[in-house]
């Protein structure tokens, strides 16, 4: 048996390994004992970023663009007050490792944006309001 100290992600482990040659256990002269070393503490993890959802204001005659599936917003390509045409890319939604373009359903003016870059959204969440 041989002992090894192995460091994995900042955690130290003592491992015993038995050597086998031709199906038989190999006997070795005993090795000097190694004093156990102080185990290092894992690096502190940053607290997860809490996403705040923006309040989306919908006025009469406006059209709401909702998330078609759950995912993460990779980019927001419009700002409030921008004029958009039907088919313009409003945002990019990553879902199941695929980038999905969320398009403007009609011509109009962006009055409200309910998603930010990096935010997680669920199916039906209001992303953009077009007037």
How high is the pLDDT of residue 50?
Answer: 45
Write the pLDDT tens digit of every residue in 80-100.
Answer: 999 999 999 999 999 988 999
Residue 123 has pLDDT above 70, yes or no: yes
Looking at residue 124, the DSSP 8-state letter turns out to be T
Question: CA–CA separation, 103 vs 101, rounded Å?
Answer: 6
CB atoms within 10 A of CB 129: 21
How high is the pLDDT of residue 13?
Answer: 83
Task: Tell whether domain 63-130 is in CATH 2.40.50.100.
Answer: yes
Q: Is 83 helix (H, G, I), strand (E, B) or coil?
A: strand
Record the pTM: 0.56
Write the pLDDT tens digit of every residue in 3-53.
Answer: 888 888 888 888 888 877 777 776 655 555 555 555 555 666 655 554 445
Write the pLDDT tens digit of every residue in 42-82.
Answer: 666 655 554 445 566 666 778 999 999 999 999 999 999 99
- Do residues 103 and 117 make contact, with C-beta atoms less than 8 angstroms apart? no
């Amino acid at each position: 048996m041989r002992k090894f100290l192995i460091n994995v992600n900042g955690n130290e482990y003592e491992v015993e390994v038995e050597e086998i040659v031709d199906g038989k256990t190999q006997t070795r002269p005993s090795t000097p004992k190694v004093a156990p070393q102080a185990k290092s503490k894992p690096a502190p993890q940053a607290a997860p970023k809490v996403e705040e959802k923006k309040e989306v204001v919908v006025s009469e005659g406006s059209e709401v663009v909702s998330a078609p599936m759950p995912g993460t917003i990779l980019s927001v390509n419009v700002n409030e007050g921008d004029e958009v045409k039907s088919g313009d890319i409003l945002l990019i939604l990553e879902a199941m490792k695929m980038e999905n373009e969320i398009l403007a359903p009609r011509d109009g003016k962006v009055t409200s944006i309910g998603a930010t870059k990096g935010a997680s959204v669920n199916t039906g969440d209001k992303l953009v309001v077009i007037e």
